[in-house]
């Protein structure tokens, strides 16, 4: 009898596990990796859950309530979404008022609805994968001659350097080439968030995030791709969208 109970309990756990896995889908593995790498801590939020229902964020709603939102110790952008999970910088989260949290949540939910994470992943990783594949095929096609030059001749070293450079640039260039596209996605998510949340709350949340960052960017960051519109531009765009919303509702 005891064995039967244990078996039933195992079956229930298995079924529950399958149901939860169905919700996350195969791509949920990416958010799982993110959770482990960032040592993220889960928390529940009824207000965010209600917003997810209003915005019909199916990836979030499919997941169990205990594993939708996570806090991490440091997140430069304050908040980040990945497939079916939203991550908050713990310090930033504590600074947010309820309306600001909803506004930031609406912005992140728009990223999830539009699958920006998958699109960014593809645009960033496809070029280096293509370059690595071409190099691999060339090496395979010329394997006999490669054996004679690698690794003891200058030609072998030169070839290795060329391969390393090709992989490096194919990995770095997409970040710069897609910077404008990233900024457009951020603007789109800001404007869509205003449809579901308070525009002024989104602005005050952005100002709070700006205060968390160092005032003067260091020398190195000046050379990094600009993937977010300026704070001034975001405030301007959000106010235009909020005015339009209030005109339509009056
Ligand atoms: Zn964003």
pLDDT of residue 7 exceeding 60: no
pLDDT > 70: what percent of the chain? Answer: 82
pLDDT of residue 2 exceeding 50: no
- How remote is the CA of residue 250 from the centroid of ligand 1, in Å? 29
- How remote is the CA of residue 159 from the centroid of ligand 1, in Å? 40
pLDDT > 90: what percent of the chain? Answer: 49
What are the helix (H) ranges across 83-115?
90-95, 98-113
How far apart are alpha carbons 197 and 189 in whole angstroms? 12
- How remote is the CA of residue 192 from the centroid of ligand 1, in Å? 11
For residues 72 and 90, is the Cβ–Cβ distance under 8 A?
A: yes
Exposed, middle or buried by CB within 10 Å (0-12, 13-18, 19+), for 208?
middle
How far apart are alpha carbons 234 and 1 in whole angstroms? 64
Residue 169: the pLDDT is 76
- How remote is the CA of residue 79 from the centroid of ligand 1, in Å? 8
How far apart are alpha carbons 189 and 55 in whole angstroms? 13
- How remote is the CA of residue 116 from the centroid of ligand 1, in Å? 9
Range of 23-27, 120-124, 146-150, 217-221 with top mean pLDDT: 120-124
- How remote is the CA of residue 157 from the centroid of ligand 1, in Å? 42
149 falls in which pLDDT band (50, 70, 90)?
A: low
Residue 6: the pLDDT is 42
3-class SS at 225? coil
How far apart are alpha carbons 178 and 174 in whole angstroms? 6
- How remote is the CA of residue 23 from the centroid of ligand 1, in Å? 23
- How remote is the CA of residue 189 from the centroid of ligand 1, in Å? 6
- How remote is the CA of residue 76 from the centroid of ligand 1, in Å? 12
1 falls in which pLDDT band (50, 70, 90)?
A: very low
3-class SS at 213? coil
Query: Looking at per-residue confidence, does 201 or 248 come out higher?
Result: 201
Residue 19: the pLDDT is 42
Which of the residue ranges 44-53, 113-122, 207-216, 236-245 would you say has the lowest mean pLDDT? 207-216
- How remote is the CA of residue 227 from the centroid of ligand 1, in Å? 10
Give 129-169 as a 3 state SS string: HHHHHHHHHHHHHCHHHHHHHCCCCHHHHHHHHHHHHHHHH
For β-strands 85-89 and 69-72, DSSP reports them as: parallel
Q: Phi and psi dihedrals of 229, rounded to 5?
A: -65, 160
For residues 51 and 30, is the Cβ–Cβ distance under 8 A?
A: no
For residue range 167-186, what is the model confidence (pLDDT) as tens digits? 777 778 888 889 999 999 99
- How remote is the CA of residue 219 from the centroid of ligand 1, in Å? 24
- How remote is the CA of residue 111 from the centroid of ligand 1, in Å? 7
- How remote is the CA of residue 186 from the centroid of ligand 1, in Å? 5
Exposed, middle or buried by CB within 10 Å (0-12, 13-18, 19+), for 187?
middle
- How remote is the CA of residue 2 from the centroid of ligand 1, in Å? 52
For residue range 52-103, what is the model confidence (pLDDT) as tens digits? 999 999 999 999 999 999 999 999 899 999 989 999 999 999 999 999 999 9
């Amino acid at each position: 009898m005891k064995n039967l109970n244990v078996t039933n309990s195992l079956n229930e756990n298995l079924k529950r596990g399958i149901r939860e896995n169905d919700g996350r889908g195969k791509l949920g593995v990416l958010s799982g990796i993110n959770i482990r790498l960032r040592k993220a801590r889960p928390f529940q939020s009824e207000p965010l859950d209600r917003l997810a229902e209003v915005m019909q964020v199916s990836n979030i709603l499919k997941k169990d309530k205990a594993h939708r939102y996570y806090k991490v110790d440091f997140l430069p952008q304050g908040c980040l979404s990945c497939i079916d999970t939203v991550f908050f910088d713990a310090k930033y989260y504590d600074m947010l008022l309820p309306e600001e949290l909803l506004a930031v949540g609406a912005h992140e939910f728009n990223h999830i609805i539009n699958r920006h994470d998958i699109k960014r992943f593809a645009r960033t990783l496809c070029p280096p994968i293509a370059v690595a594949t071409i190099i691999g095929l060339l090496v395979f096609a010329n394997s006999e001659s490669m054996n004679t030059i690698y690794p003891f001749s200058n030609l072998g070293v030169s070839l290795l350097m060329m391969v390393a450079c090709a992989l490096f640039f194919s990995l770095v260039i997409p970040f710069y080439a897609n910077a404008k596209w990233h900024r457009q996605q951020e603007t789109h998510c800001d404007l869509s968030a205003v449809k579901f949340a308070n525009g002024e709350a989104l602005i005050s949340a952005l100002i709070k995030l700006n205060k968390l960052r160092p005032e003067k960017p260091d020398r190195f960051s000046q050379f990094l791709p600009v993937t977010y519109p300026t704070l001034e531009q975001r405030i301007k765009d959000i106010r235009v969208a909020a005015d339009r919303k209030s005109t339509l509702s009056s």
